[in-house]
Amino acid sequence: MNALLKKEMRLSALLLTYLFIGFGVMTLVPGYPILCGTFFITLGIFQSFQSAREANDIVFSALLPIAKRDVVKGKYQFAALIELAGFAVMAVLTLVRMTVLADAVIYRQNALMNANLFFLGCVLLIFGLFNAIFLGGFLKTAYKLGKYFVIFIAVCFVVIFLAEAAHHVPGLGALNAFGFDHIGLQLLTLLAGAAAFVALTFLSYNKACKDFERIDL
């Protein structure tokens, strides 16, 4: 682990952020919009950013013997680490629901989204949107947090609503596949989510580096 990520984890992060990874367990909650677990994980990351801002973390980091753009790198690395940890929890529990619990009545009788690979693709899409909207927005100024988090909340819940309801649209029922049914489609949606995560994170990271370089601290 590099020094920058260690600094983020030990000085900038709140314990709360690590605890909020546990919201990935919401994947197992029956009759609940399980994609909301993703939002709570991003809320945990937001809390760390808010606390770090009050601790003069950005200026402290910019004074370390690193290039100014590396401050941005540290922030993205930290957010991605938490997101991927949350994703790992959700992926394991999704696999449990797809195999051992594939026929559990409690999950079969569910008007909302089922835990499958399409769900995991949506999780990655939401994390990508968080990186693009919140991280990219915050690093334009290094102090404005609220505005970009509110925008992210709005976008996030539109995505959650659409994803949770998608399988009720005629012709899209296969998105709610149980177990390994429609596995080709499931894999495709997971890959699309992963591609969106990578693209949104990478593009916003590059833009944030340029934005951050220009601002006065």
For the bound state, the minimum distance from the C-beta of residue 59 to another protein, rounded and expressed in Å, comes to: 7
Of 19, 29, 63, 172, which lies in the binding site for another protein, with binding defined by CB under 8 A? 63
Residues of span 149-168 touching another protein by CB under 8 A: none
Cβ–Cβ contacts within 10 Å for residue 178, how many? 18
The token pair that represents 216 in the structure block: 């006065």
**CA torsion angle for 63, 68, 72, 73 (degrees, to 10)?**
-100
16 forms part of the interface with another protein (CB under 8 A):
no
Distant-in-sequence contacts of 134-137, Cβ < 8 A, 24+ apart: 134/42, 134/46, 134/49, 135/75, 135/76, 135/79, 135/204, 135/205, 135/208, 136/204, 136/205, 136/207, 136/208, 136/211
Stretch that binds another protein, among 56-64, 146-154, 181-189, 194-202 (CB under 8 A): 56-64
62 forms part of the interface with another protein (CB under 8 A):
yes
For the bound state, the minimum distance from the C-beta of residue 17 to another protein, rounded and expressed in Å, comes to: 15
Residues whose CB is less than 8 angstroms from the CB of residue 158 and which lie 6 or more positions away in sequence, other chains included = none
Max Cα-Cα span within the chain: 58
The token pair that represents 22 in the structure block: 């546990």
Nearer to another protein (CB atom), residue 199 or residue 217: 217
What separation in angstroms does the CA of 168 have from each of 111, 114, 122, 155?
9, 12, 16, 21
For the bound state, the minimum distance from the C-beta of residue 67 to another protein, rounded and expressed in Å, comes to: 5
Of 16, 59, 154, 183, which lies in the binding site for another protein, with binding defined by CB under 8 A? 59
67 forms part of the interface with another protein (CB under 8 A):
yes
Q: How many residues bind another protein (CB under 8 A)?
A: 21
56 forms part of the interface with another protein (CB under 8 A):
yes
For the bound state, the minimum distance from the C-beta of residue 137 to another protein, rounded and expressed in Å, comes to: 20
Cβ–Cβ contacts within 10 Å for residue 65, how many? 6
97 forms part of the interface with another protein (CB under 8 A):
no
For the bound state, the minimum distance from the C-beta of residue 9 to another protein, rounded and expressed in Å, comes to: 9
Contact between 175 and 189 under an 8 Å Cβ cutoff? The reply is yes
210 forms part of the interface with another protein (CB under 8 A):
no
Stretch that binds another protein, among 7-15, 37-45, 145-153, 163-171 (CB under 8 A): 7-15
Residues that bind another protein (CB under 8 A): 3, 6-7, 10-11, 55-57, 59-60, 62-68, 214-217
